[in-house]
Structure 1
C-alpha cells in the first residue's frame, strides 16, 4: 500500500500526539500510522477516510486535511510568490480571536474577586462569576477529562478535571477558576513554543517560488511550478529565485545558495553548472534547463527529510514518553494517598488533606516533561537545515553527541577534490610523444574518477587532441584502468600496480614526488613504463581549523582515510592537523577501519562524499556526507548530510548535537525538579493550588524557552 501524508490541525501536545497515534493504529482500515507532532502531520499506510481519521482524533477535536498539491497563492510580489507579513495590529487581533475565551474568563475572575470582597465568598453572584469563568476557559478541558474518566484513560486532562470537580465540591471556586485559566494559559504557552519551533522548519517551504517563467517557442509564459516538466527551459531574471533544480543552458551569474547549502558567499555559475530550487539569481539573466520536477528537487527532499526526521525519536525522547505512561497513574495514587492516609492516621482534618491531594493532582500534570525533548529536537533540526545540514532524526543528534572518534575521507572532504597536474616525466624512449598523450586522454576520458578528470582537463588545456578507438576498457576501483588502442596495451594507475623494483630510476622519482605530497600516476605501453604524471590536491582552507575545533571539543581520535600512498597521505595529514591517518585504503578497507575504531571508541563518525564512501558511512555510528546537494545518493546514504562543501559545518554539527543533549537533560531536570520541590511542600502542608499551577506553568515556560535557544546556535 502507498503511504499517504495528511496535515493535522489542532495537535496541541506531545501526549495527545501519542494518544492519536494509538487510536489510528487501532483502525481496521489502517495498516500502519505514524504521527509527526513537530510537523503536525500523519503518515498513513492503508485506505482510511477523512471521517475515520477525524473520529480517531475527536478527543482533541482534530481536523485532518487530505493530501493535495500546493496551489499558487495570491501575493503582492509575484516574482517571489510570497505575501507581506502581518502587521502587529493584525497579529494582536489574531491572538485575541484565538485566546478570547481566556481573556473573557480572566475578566470574570476579576469581577468574581471584586464580588467576593464586597458581597462575600459564598454569595450566589460570586460563585456564578467563578463558575462561568471555569466553564468558559475550561470547557474543552472538562469535556475531555470527563470522557477520559469514564473510559478510565488517565492523562493531564483527567488529573485537572478531578482537581476542578474536587475544588468545587469543597467550595474553593476562586482558586479553581484561577487554576483553570492558568492551565489554559500554560497550554497556550506550550502551543506558542511548539509553533515557534515549527515556524523555523516551515520557513523552508516558503523558500521556493510558486511560479516559473518558461519559454514557449519565442515567448515566455508564467506557469505554476507543478506544471513545469523535465527539459523545459526557464527564464530567470536578476533578483528572482530559481524555481526548480536544473542546469544553466545560457548565461552566467552569481547564485546565492545560502537558503539550501548555508553558504554565506554567492557562488559564480556558468553554462553547464547545476542550480537548485530556492536559490537566488543575483546579477544576470539565466536560462536554465530543468532536471527535476517540483516534487523531486533538492529543496523538496530537504523539506521531506526535515519533517520525517522528527519521527525518528532520540532515545531520551522515547524513554520520557514511555515514563509518562506510568507517571500519571502514579501521581493519582500519590494524590489519593495524600488526601486519605493522613486523616485516617489522625494527622490533621479531612478538608486540609483533601485540598493538598487536589494540589498534588494539579502539580502532577506532565506537560513540561513531555515537551522537554521534542521542542529541543525540532529546534535543533530546523536550525541545522537553515545552515545547510540535514539531520535525519533526533537519534543521530544524540549519537553524534557521544562520538569520540571521527574518520575523514581525504579527497573531496579535507581536500577540494580537484587535483591538478603538477609534473610530467617521460621515458627516454617516448620523449614528448604526442600520440601517447592523445591515447592517455582518450582512455582517461572514459573514467569519471577525479584524477582522470584532472588529467583530461590538463591535456585539453594544452591542446591535445584525443584520437584512437578505445577497446577493452576496464577500471579497477582505487587502482587504475587498462585499455587497448591501435593494438597497444595501456595500463594507467598507481605505482603499486607496477614492478618498480626492476626500474630503480622510476622508483626514486616516484618516491621524491610522493614525499612532496603529490599523487603519482604511471602509464605503461605494452608493459613498459613510458610516462609519469604527478598531481596534487589542494587542501580546503578551513580543514585545519575544523580539525582543531573538533580537538577542542574533546574528540580523542581524528583520522584521515585515503587511497593515496603513505608519503602523500603523511604530507596532507601534517598540513591538515589530523591525529592519525591510513593510506592506500580501498572502500572495503575504510569499512573495516571504521569497525576497528568502533571496538575502541564505541561511537565513531565517518565523514565522506556519500558515494565511494557509502560502506564506511553506513557502518559508522553516524555517517556524515559532504557536498550532498547535487547527489541524491549522498543524501540517502548518510545519517547527516552537509549540502555544501563547507567543512566548517562539521564542527558546527558536533557543537549543535552536544548543546542539544545538554538542553534536553537540563529540561528534564527543570521539569522534574520543580515538581519534586513543590511536592515536598505537602509534608509541612504548605502546598496550594496556586503554587501547584504556577510551578507547572513555570516549568512549561522554562522548558519551552530553553529549548528555543537551539534555534539561534550559529556556525562559526
Structure 2
C-alpha cells in the first residue's frame, strides 16, 4: 500500500465522495481518504496518474508521498519516482490561502461597489459587477458542482451550483453573488478550522529526532536515526534529542521526557539508566548504548499510534456519514416539493417559490453536520497525546467517555511492582541485618533487593557469604563470619522450635498482608521482614477522583493472596476486590462485569493482555509489557495512573461537544426550514444558517485544544 498527503480537501462530505471515486478504480477497493489527516492510502498497483487526475478534477492535489518513515524523516532534497512530478502538479493546481483570500476580498469589494453604485449605473453594468463578484468567489464551487451534477453525485458543491444557477435564472443577481461570497467565506473558515486541528496533530509528529552522532572507536559520524542498530553507541550533546531508546553508558544529565510521557518536569539520569528516544537532553553530555532500532522505539510507536488514531472513524461519524448519504437526496426532494406544491395546488407564484426552493437547497448543505465529529475527535486525541495518553482511535476516545466501571490489575498498576520492607521485627538487630544482607548480596530476586535496600538504609555493608545453598521452597542457608544462618519463609525454620511470641509476630505480619522473610541462626530467630508491594502514591487520589467523576464501580482483579489484595483495596478505596485469580479467571470476571456496564480494564503485564482484549476498553501502563501495550486501546505513557481521571473527563467533554454540535447544526437548519413555510426564507439567511452552524461547531470543537490554566494532578 502507498500513502500520500493530499491537500485541497474542501469538506468531509466531498472527501467521502472523492474516496468513493478512487475506490471504483481497478485495485481501488481498499482505498481510504481521511479528511481529518489529509492522507490517502491506496494499492500500489493503481497508476499514480489516475489518482492525480481524479484529485485534480475535484480541486485537490498530492503534496507528497507520505509513508511512515518518509513522513518522519523527510529531507529537503527528497528523491523518489514521484517527487518532482508531485511538486510540479501541486504547484500547478494548488491555490494558496493568500490567493483565495485575495479573491474573496476582491469579490466582496465588487459586491459592495455594485450596491453603492446601483442607483447611478446602467442595470447591465450592475449585473456585470454582481456576476464578476460571484465568479471570483464561487467559480471553483461551480466547476466542481457542475462536474458532480453531470455524474449525478449530490454534494454541497452540487447543491450550491444548482442554487447559484437558479438564482441567476430568476434574475436574483444580487442574492446569487452574496451566496457565492458567503459560501466562499464559509469554506475558507472551515478549512482554517480543520487545518488548525491537523497542525496541532502534526506538531506531535515533528518531535521525532532525525539525526544521531554515532561513535565508532575514536571517530564520530552524523547518521540518520533510521540507520541505528541495537548495540550502537551514540553521543548526545546538551540540547540534542536522544535518537532512540537506550541505556546511558557515561554521563549525567536531566532529561525532558515530555514528548513521551507528557510530564514537563525533567528527570535526572545517570549511568545504567534507561532513556526514551525523542527525549531532550538538557545540560550534560551523554553516551548512550542504543537498545532498539528507531522504528521499534517508544516515540516511533507513539507516532504510529497517533497516525492510526487519525484514520479511524467513530460510531458517531459512521452514523453521520450514513445519515448524510440519505439526507442530501431527501433535501433535493423537499426542495422540489417546495417549488412545485404551492404554485400547482395553492396558486403560488412560480418565481417566489422557486426562490424558496433554492433557499431550502442551501439550508440542506450537510457541511456542519458532517464536521460535528472529526474536528472534536482529532482535538481530543491530540490533547490527550500532549499529556502522554495515547488513544488508538476516535472510537476508543468516544468509548472512554462512556465507561462506568473500571477494573484494575494490582501489581504494577495500583502498586509499583517494586517490593519494599514495610515492617521489620528484629530480636538481634545487628546480626539480623548483617546475615540477611550477606545471604541476599548476590541475588537479583525482587525480595532480596528490597532487603538489601533496607540494610543499606540502616548503614549495613553486606559481607561475603560462604557455602551458600538454595533450599527449594524454603530459602537460602549460608555461613557468614563463621556462623551458619538461614533466610526464607516459615519452612526454613524447620530446625527450630518457635517461641509463642515469635509465632504471634509471624501471624500478625501475615494478617497485615505482608510477604514474610525470616532470618535465623542454628539456635533462634534473629528477626523478620514484612515485605509489601509499594502502593503507587497517586492510586488513592485517582480512585477517589474517578468516583467523583461518576464512575459507578472500581474493581481490583489480582492473582495475589486475599490479605494482600484486601490491604491495597483498603488503602486505595477500591469498591470490590477479587484475588487469587488466574489470567483466564480475570477474563471471565471482565465478561461478567461487562454484562452489567461499560467496562475498562487497566493492566500492565502479560497476564493482563487477555483481560485487556476482552474489556470494552483496554488501558495499559506505558512501561508495561509489549503484549499489554499492543492489546490495549489506551496507553498511559507516564507509567502512572495520575492522568486517567483527566483523560476520562476530556473524553466525556468530547462526547458532549459532538452531541451539542449535531444538535446545533440540525437545529439551525430546522429553524431556517420553518421560515420557508410562510415564504420568509431568503438565500442569504439560508447560507448564514449553514455558515453559522459550520463556524460554531468548528470553534466549539477547537476549544478542546485549549489547555486549562489550572491543571490538578492526583
Aligned-partner Cα distance in 2 for 1:50–1:400: 39
The number of aligned residues is: 671
* Contact 1:438/1:467, CA 8 A, preserved across alignment: no
User: SS of the counterpart of 1:142?
Assistant: helix
> Structure 1 residues 484 and 494, CA, compared in 2 at 3 Å: closer, same or farther?
closer
Conservation of the 8 A alpha-carbon contact between 1:72 and 1:210? no
Distance of aligned partners of 1:466 and 1:686 in 2 relative to their CA distance in 1, 3 Å threshold: farther
1:403-442 alignment, distance < 5 Å: 403-422=403-422
Residue 103 of structure 1 and its aligned partner are, at CA, apart by 1.9
Q: Give the structure-2-normalised TM-score.
A: 0.86
Question: What is the CA–CA distance in structure 2 between the aligned matches of 1:520 and 1:31, rounded to whole Å?
Answer: 63
With 576-585 and 334-343 compared, the bigger mean Cα shift is at 576-585
Residues 353 and 495 of structure 1: is their aligned pair in 2 closer, same or farther, counting only changes over 3 Å? farther
Query: Could you tell me which of 62, 71, 74 is aligned with 1:71?
Result: 74
2:636 paired with 1:642: yes
Gap regions ≥5 residues in structure 2: 78-94, 479-485
- Aligned-CA RMSD value: 3.5
- Aligned pair in 2 of structure 1 residues 456, 326: CA closer, same or farther (>3 Å)? farther
Of residues 100, 107, 111 in structure 2, which corresponds to 1:105?
107
Q: Give CA deviations for 1:416-454 in whole Å, capped at 9, x if unaligned.
A: 2221135678999xx979999877776x64x6xx55764
**For residues 129-528 of structure 1, what are the structure 2 equivalents within 5 Å?**
129-422=129-422, 445=444, 451=447, 454=450, 463=462, 508-520=504-516
- Distance in 2, matches of 1:482 and 1:132, equals 92
Deviation at 1:249, TM superposition (A): 1.1
Q: How many Å separate the matches in 2 of 1:144 and 1:165?
A: 14
- Rounded to whole Å, the distance in 2 between the matches of 1:712 and 1:671 is 23
Q: Deviations over 1:536-557 (max 9, x none)?
A: 2322222221111111111111
Q: 2: CA distance between counterparts of 1:348 and 1:496?
A: 100
- 1:133 to partner: Cα distance: 1.8
Moved more, 141-150 or 242-251: 242-251
Out of 696, 699, 710, the position equivalent to 2:704 is 710
Give the superposition deviation at 1:690.
Answer: 0.8
Query: Please, which moves more after superposition, 372-381 or 98-107?
Result: 98-107
Q: Is the 8 A contact 1:404 1:555 kept in 2?
A: yes
Structure 1 contact 566–583 (Cα < 8 Å) conserved: yes
- 2:608 corresponds in structure 1 to 613
SS at match of 2:401: helix
Match of 1:662 in 2: 656
1:5 maps to which residue? 3
Seen in structure 2, the aligned counterparts of structure 1 residues 30 and 364 have a Cα distance that, compared at 3 Å, is closer
Task: Specify whether residues 150 and 215 from structure 1 end up closer, same or farther in structure 2 by C-alpha distance, changes over 3 A only.
Answer: same
After TM superposition, give the deviation of residue 610 of structure 1 in Å.
4.6
Say if 1:686 and 1:631 are closer, same or farther in 2 by CA, change over 3 A. same
Post-superposition CA distance 1:271-298 (Å, at most 9, x none): 2222122222122111112223333322
Paired residues of 1:375 and 1:708 also in contact (CA < 8 A):
yes
Cα distance, 1:59–1:268 mapped onto 2, change above 3 Å: same
Contact persistence 1:610–1:638 (CA under 8 A):
no
* SS at structure 2 position matched to 1:336: helix
Paired position in structure 2 for 1:584? 580
Q: Secondary structure at the match of 1:243?
A: coil
Alignment correspondent of 2:551: 555
Correspondence for 1:21 = 19
The question of 1:625 aligning with 2:623 is answered: no
Distance across 2 between alignment mates of 1:451 and 1:594 = 31
| Contact in 1 for aligned 2:14/2:155 (Cα 8 Å) | no
Tell me the equivalent position of 2:688. Answer: 694
Aligned-partner SS, 2:244: coil
**After alignment, is 46-55 or 332-341 more displaced?**
46-55
- Quote how far apart the aligned CAs of 1:470 are: 9.5
* Residue deviations 1:565-586 (CA, integer Å, cap 9, x gap): 3222222222212222222233
Q: CA deviation at 1:414?
A: 1.8
Alpha-carbon deviation of 1:168?
Answer: 0.4
Instruction: Tell me, in whole angstroms, the C-alpha distance in 2 between the residues paired with 1:337 and 1:687.
Output: 15
- Normalised TM-score (structure 1): 0.85
Does the 8 Å contact 2:409/2:557 carry over to 1? yes
CA distance in 1: counterparts of 2:149 and 2:492, whole angstroms: 77
Q: d(CA) in 1 for partners of 2:371 and 2:555?
A: 38
Deviation at 1:51, TM superposition (A): 1.4
Q: 1:713 to 1:594 in 2, by over 3 A?
A: farther
Partner Cα distance (2:45, 2:469) in 1 = 56
Q: Secondary structure at the match of 1:203?
A: helix
Q: Distance in 1 between matches of 2:128 and 2:489?
A: 90
Aligned to 1:57: 55
**Secondary structure at the counterpart of residue 187 of structure 1:** helix
Which region of structure 1 is more displaced relative to structure 2, 684-693 or 243-252?
A: 243-252
